[in-house]
Amino acid sequence: MDAGPFAPLPFQASTPWLAPLAGWSDLPFRLLCRELGAAVCCTEMISAKGFVYNSPGTHELLNTLPEDNPLVLQLFGAEAPFMAEAALRLKERGFTWFDCNMGCSVPKVTRTGAGAALCRDVDNALRVAEALIGAAGPGRAGFKLRLGWDAAAAGTWKTLARELEARGAGWLTLHPRTARQGFTGQADWQALRELKTLVRIPVVASGDLLSAEDGLRCLAETGADTVMYARGALRDPAIFTSHARLLQGLAPSRPDAATLKARILRHAELARTYSSDRAALLKMRTIVPRYVHDLPGSRALRLAVIACRNWDDFSRALDSCL
- What amino acid positions are annotated as catalytic residues? 104
Label each residue of 288-315 as H, E or C.
Answer: HHHHCCCCCCHHHHHHHHHCCCCHHHHH
The DSSP output letter for 3 is -
The DSSP output letter for 112 is T
Are 290 and 235 within 8 A, CB to CB? yes
φ, ψ of residue 146 to 5 degrees: the values are: -115, 175
| Residue 17 host element (H or E) | strand 17-18
3-state SS assignment for residue 2:
coil
Are 18 and 248 within 8 A, CB to CB? no
| Residue 53 host element (H or E) | none
Q: Which amino acid is at 11?
A: F
The whole-angstrom separation of Cα 290 and Cα 46 is: 24
Strand partners, 149: none
Helix axes 257-274, 311-321, angle to 10 degrees: 170
Are 44 and 73 within 8 A, CB to CB? no
The whole-angstrom separation of Cα 264 and Cα 252 is: 19
- Cα–Cα distances in angstroms (integers) from residue 263 to residues 23, 166, 211, 281, 298, in the given order: 20, 44, 18, 15, 16
